[in-house]
Amino acid sequence: MENRQPPRTVLRVRQLQTRLDGAPLERVRALEAPLARAAADGVDLVALPEMFCCPYETPQFPRLAEPEGGPVWSACAELAARNGLWLSAGSVPERDGGRVYNTAYVFDRQGRQAAKHRKMHLFDIAVDGGQHFRESDTLSAGSAVTTFGTEFGRLGLCICYDMRFPELFRLMALEGALAVLVPAAFNFTTGPAHWELTLRARALDNQVYCVATAPALDPAASYHAWGHSLVADPWGALVAQLDDAPGEQTVELDMARPAQIRRQLPLLQHRRTDVYTLNGR
């Protein structure tokens, strides 16, 4: 008689809040010990920050960009397979022909690419007295809503500035996502004001977990990342959060909880799609 294992409902996630220093392959090699330790600790998925192997500077993106299947991609795939872990490999600059994208890859336990997301919304902002940044000077925008299947249920994937757009999170939820992975790099202008607030709102509105992983602050870098990697739950509660220093945290996600909350507070069922269109917009 076949021995059927019950489906796994607890997803153990470890977030690695690292600095963005060093050459790309040096940054990947620096992950060898943390991933081996995560595997020994029974972690299922390790999450890395946005541009985890590249300084967050627009001129650096095309200089360090690699095609899918390049050295950084291959090294990440090998790390996932060696340790038997899911690896949300933050994001990296990806070159495709004449274009460069801010691209997030996820690898499964066998090192196969399970998901790929190109940042849809480019970070072009000019805050009076605060941060000025233009990703569109060197990056192109993606156009795909990204979800993927795991043994724990369906997950979503987006990058940093994407999280400010509720429509994208709603589409991932409607595609069945129970948790959304968000490699990100907010700064000291937007971080204190909007980081936790936005992630908890996206989690609450869509009744999903938000797992947002950021770089640590590097005072010597030109871009000062806010850090504060966090997890918010489907009730909108803050589960765990780091400060701005290099570090890591492990959180257990009860993947049955989104369905439980959606039964009690059926927001997705109560949507009025018959009245949500305004003159075709």
Active-site positions? Answer: 50, 119, 160
Residue 186: what are its φ and ψ, rounded to 5°?
-65, 165
CB atoms < 10 A from the CB of 246, how many?
A: 15
Q: Take residue 19 and report the two structure tokens written for it.
A: 């600095």
Q: How many CB atoms lie within 10 A of CB 145?
A: 20
| DSSP annotation string for 33-102 | HHHHHHHHTT-SEEE--TTTTS-S-TTHHHHH-B-TTSHHHHHHHHHHHHHT-EEE---EEEEETTEEEE
Residue 28 is classified by DSSP as H
**How many CA within 13 A on the CB side of residue 184?**
30
The SS3 assignment for 26 reads helix
- Crossing angle for the helix pair 32-40 and 71-83, nearest 10 degrees? 20
